[in-house]
Amino acid sequence: MSSECAALILGGPGAIFWMWVVALVGMATAFFEATLAQVFKVRHTDGSFRGGPAYYMARGLRSRPLGVVFAGLTIFTCGFSIIMVQSNAVAGVIGPDSPLKLPPSVAAAVLVGLAALVILGGVRRVARVTEWMAPIMALVYVAMAVVIVALHITQLPGLLGTIVFSAFGPAPFAGGVTGGIIAALTNGTRRGLFSNEAGQGTAPFAAATATVAHPVQQGLIQSLGVFVDTIIACTATAFIILVSGVYSPALVQAGELTPKAAGTLTSDAVAATLGSWTAIPMAIVIFVLAFSSIIAAATYSEVSMTFISEAARMAAAQARLGGLHRSGGPRHSDRRVEHRRHHHGHHDPDQPDRPHPARPLGRGRTQGLGRPARGGTSRPPVQRRGQPLPAR
């Protein structure tokens, strides 16, 4: 939700148009990266599947160093950048400017405590609750958006025209912080990529964990997710903000509406349209969705760290094997001594070799000896070519 708000403030209504363009291209990107994540996924020791760009770079492109570089960038991006953005959204709905009026330190302590219970592996129950609460909160938000769109359905054509015209219109009408087509294009592209994650490389981590009959099925699901996320959900959020009156290009130009308000702009717009009673439900919706994004980003970082540690172990093993190959491997005498130790127990290598003890084979013959056993019969003589058969 904060992506559309930031796009509107920084790039004006025209930024929403470029978010649509990014989503249409991103549907193809999401299809390919999710399909590759399914093709090159691996089973972890706990029975779950792991995958993502780092894995199909290492296994598909045969370039483990490139996968390590991507995994390192993912650790920084997901472990710090994405978590900071989502934490700011949570602080906006439970902080001092929210209906809860929590001090910043208390809001941060609540978020860190809940995240630590899941990320550090202590309490998985919170993660399971988030798994079923996030879809419910998303449905609640969609229901609110449908009601608002139905109440202002007559304004929909005009707002769509405003979005398209602002994407190519002059700077004063574009209404962004810097104004103009460039602001709409750049901010719409950035926020569109952040919203649906298509081509960003983080969504394949989640796509690899799914169990499907064919990898293409997960690719189609991922492509549909981009369409629903940006074309439907983001458009509905932008419509709510534009009809509510809490946003206008004039407020942005006057400096009364700054990018710092992106975290609470959606909840303010819903409250201005449906009433102040929606403040608490919207706070819960934003908190659950942002918290689930924090847990997902931490999981992606954990998978990337696992990939780097496994790559380091494999590189060390290959280095040891390469050292043995260059040194010629173990000597023949060492292999013979180890063979005797394996079959006959401990043997002193300084002692002379001894013949193997004879073992009876039956019919009075023994193995390893050239003479017949007592009371036995010798083998019949073998006639060689060109020689007479010896007399008995």
pLDDT digits (tens, 9 = 90+) for 22-41: 889 999 999 999 999 999 98
Question: Taking residues 1-14, what's their average pLDDT?
Answer: 78
* pLDDT for position 388: 55
* pLDDT for position 341: 46
Most confident of 125-139, 205-219, 258-272: 205-219
Percent of the chain with pLDDT over 70: 74
Higher pLDDT, 329 or 205: 205
Give residue-wise pLDDT tens across range 61-113: 888 889 899 999 999 888 888 888 888 778 777 777 776 777 878 888 888 88
pLDDT at 326 over 50: yes
Q: At what angle do helices 235-244 and 14-39 cross, to 10 degrees?
A: 160
Question: Taking residues 260-283, what's their average pLDDT?
Answer: 82
CA distance 231 to 22: 10
CA distance 247 to 264: 12
Q: Please say whether the beta carbons of 267 and 140 come within 8 A.
A: no
Amino acid at 140: V
Mean pLDDT for the chain?
A: 76
Please, which residues have CB within 8 angstroms of residue 357's CB and are 6 or more apart in sequence?
A: none
* pLDDT for position 384: 56
Q: Which of 115, 64, 36 is nearest to 309 (CA)?
A: 64
Rounded to 5, what percent of the chain is helix, strand, coil? Answer: 70, 0, 30
DSSP, residue by residue, 265-293: HHHHHHHHHH-GGGHHHHHHHHHHHHHHH
* pLDDT for position 36: 93
pLDDT at 366 over 60: no
pLDDT band at 252 (very low <50, low <70, confident <90, very high): confident
pLDDT at 277 over 60: yes
pLDDT band at 328 (very low <50, low <70, confident <90, very high): low
Give the lowest-confidence range in 156-170, 254-268, 322-336.
322-336
**Which spans in 12-63 are helix H?**
14-39, 53-59
Phi and psi angles of residue 13, each rounded to the nearest 5 degrees, phi first:
-60, -25
CA distance 366 to 363: 9
Instruction: Tell me 331's DSSP state.
Output: -
pLDDT at 220 over 90: yes
Question: Taking residues 164-185, what's their average pLDDT?
Answer: 64
pLDDT band at 380 (very low <50, low <70, confident <90, very high): low
pLDDT at 336 over 50: no
pLDDT at 349 over 50: no
Most confident of 37-46, 183-192, 312-321: 37-46
pLDDT at 340 over 80: no
Q: Which of 215, 273, 243, 173 is nearest to 60 (CA)?
A: 215
Q: Please say whether the beta carbons of 267 and 31 come within 8 A.
A: no
pLDDT at 382 over 70: no
* pLDDT for position 173: 47
CA distance 109 to 117: 12
Residue with tokens 């013959």: 365
Percent of the chain with pLDDT over 90: 8
In 119-184, DSSP assigns E strands to: none
CA distance 339 to 179: 80
Question: Taking residues 198-219, what's their average pLDDT?
Answer: 87
Higher pLDDT, 137 or 34: 34
pLDDT band at 172 (very low <50, low <70, confident <90, very high): very low
Question: Taking residues 35-49, what's their average pLDDT?
Answer: 85
Instruction: Tell me 261's DSSP state.
Output: G
